[in-house]
Amino acid sequence: MWIGTAGGGLSKFDGLHFTNYNEKNGLSGNAVNDICEDIDGNIWSASSWGGITKFDGRRFLKFTKKDGLLSDKNNRVIFSDNSGKIWIGCKSGITTYHNGNFKNYTKDDNNFLNSDINCIFQDRKNNIWIGGNKGITYISKNDTIQITNKNGLHSNIITAVFEDNNGDFLIGSKNNGVIKLISGSIDKEKKFLFERIPVLPNNLPVTSIKKDKTNKVYIATSNDGIYVLKKNKLIIRYSDSNGFKSNRARTLFIDKVGNIWIGTHSLGLIKYTNQAFTLYNNIEGLNSSLLFGICQDNEGNIWAASYGEGIIKYDGKQIKKYTTSNGFPSNDAFAITKDQNGTLWFSTNKGLVKHTNGKFKTYTTKDGLPSNLLTSLLVDKNNDLWIGSWDSGICKYNHSSFTTYIPPQKKITSMVSSFLEDKKGNIWVGTENGVFTIKKNKISEFNTSDFCNISINDITEDHYGNIWFATKRCVIKYDGLDFQTIDTDAGLSSGVTYLIHSDKKSNIWVGSNNGLDKITLLSDKNMKSDF
């Protein structure tokens, strides 16, 4: 069995041991988003950078934009159909590869709808279903049909498509659950017949749908565990309350024996067999329990924002957790900061939370936030609070109202991962798809054409005023004119960098999936590394 990791490359599991493959072995990129096996037994992988890779059991063969691929970056989905054609979905559209030839499809093509691809599926009649952020593109032998909410689809952000035993199609969405498209209602007239599944909540964030040998249907979600159906009846829901250990399932795979493998967001890999769960979480590149932020309050207590455990407070003697069970709005917190008044602020997937005088207060879209799915936080020199969201840009809170910032001709729709206020008072915004700057309350997109990777995880400023970026492939130093790339060729222990910090002694600290590196600045131009 093959496992793609978030920074450790590919892992092959033979039932006893794991064998790891990464860029040094020929893999296109260590952040693997999807894997498939073609009809000849070759293993294909799609990465966040570097294109795609084919592994024939002996060697890796990389394909990039130079070979005909639509994009080298953000290849999310890879799928092999019954004819041996390889389908690659990215943020720009679709590439197919067959008999040595590439062919690209984008939203500019007349019969192609999606440009941001989330899933690809082939039904029993060999029709191809492509789910993206603008609905479904359905490709049959004779026609291409678009299916959107204008035709009755429950959501335009489609994350999973699956065909059941009756030939009906279960369609999962990001935030609007599952809907059934009845077999036989797909035609050029677009008179689609949809039905809700009564036993499922309507707002499920679906990530994957699979069926086992006993015809049980497993529906994985990003925050509500796994729902198991048979004949449209709910058999059980697996969650952290009944042995699953996590509510955050990212992907499902059912092997030839019938074992169900679950890739999670915070616990690594889980195998379900014989009504028991087995956790595999000590594999390079697989996730472990996640803490996203740590802060000390004015009384000396340590607070931590966690993914799955809510807020953790340590007073030096004992730990107290704040979760949904005792009044905190969510178990998932992504950032924590303290303002100049000593007030603590938390970003969650249920809004912005303020803690003062021992009480929590939650702000949501009803109060003026652009989204309740929040990520990064920053308190600037004026004590204003900057708030990043998952998919709706950024806003500033001046302790009386929220102001949303949208750059000219382009809305920030990708996840905001980090903020920095530099010495000049400019705000730098790192996202998974580039960098923005805010100067004198005007926002603009920063030119990242010289970046090794535009998925920004963190930003810092050093003693000399240089701006440093931690990305998923390297560290970048910007001196106001030129860019310098620092990667594994320069001695960095890993290119998958998550955190970057400049201390008072002119050291740059880099946290990666392979540990901690230190870069010592000798001057504004020279440095030495302790990798």
- DSSP for 469-522? EEESS-EEEE-SS-EEEE-GGGT-S-S-EEEEEE-TTSEEEEEETTEEEEEEES
Give the residues across from 467 on adjacent strands: 461, 478
Q: pLDDT by residue (tens digit) across 50-80?
A: 899 998 878 889 999 999 998 888 888 999 9
Contacts 24+ apart (CB under 8 A), 88-92: 88/46, 88/52, 89/117, 89/118, 89/119, 89/120, 89/130, 89/132, 90/46, 90/117, 91/115, 91/116, 91/117, 91/433
Q: What is the pLDDT of residue 287?
A: 34
Give the residues across from 4 on adjacent strands: 10
Q: Which of 89-93, 258-262, 349-353 has the lowest mean pLDDT?
A: 258-262
Q: What is the pLDDT of residue 109?
A: 67
Two tokens, residue 180:
């059934």
Q: pLDDT by residue (tens digit) across 175-197?
A: 899 999 987 767 656 678 899 99
* CATH numbers and ranges of domains, the chain: 2-216 (2.130.10.10), 217-283 (no CATH), 289-363 (2.40.10.500)
Position 526 confidence tier, pLDDT thresholds 50, 70, 90: low
- Is 493:517 a contact under the CB 8 Å cutoff? yes
Give yes or no for residue 251 having a pLDDT over 70: yes
- Is 118:106 a contact under the CB 8 Å cutoff? no
Position 476 confidence tier, pLDDT thresholds 50, 70, 90: very high
Q: For the residues 28-32, what does the mean pLDDT come to? A: 82
Q: Which run of H or E residues covers position 178?
A: strand 178-181
Q: pLDDT by residue (tens digit) across 157-176?
A: 999 999 988 889 999 999 89
Rounded-to-integer distance, Cα 430 and Cα 144, Å: 38
- Is 47:26 a contact under the CB 8 Å cutoff? no
Q: pLDDT by residue (tens digit) across 375-397?
A: 999 999 999 999 999 878 899 99
Rounded-to-integer distance, Cα 381 and Cα 421, Å: 8
Q: pLDDT by residue (tens digit) across 133-164?
A: 889 999 888 888 888 888 889 999 999 999 98
Alpha helices in 355-399 (DSSP H): none
Integer angstrom CA distances of residue 187 from 168, 191, 492: 14, 7, 55
Q: Find tokens 């829901």 and name the residue.
A: 237
Give yes or no for residue 329 having a pLDDT over 80: yes
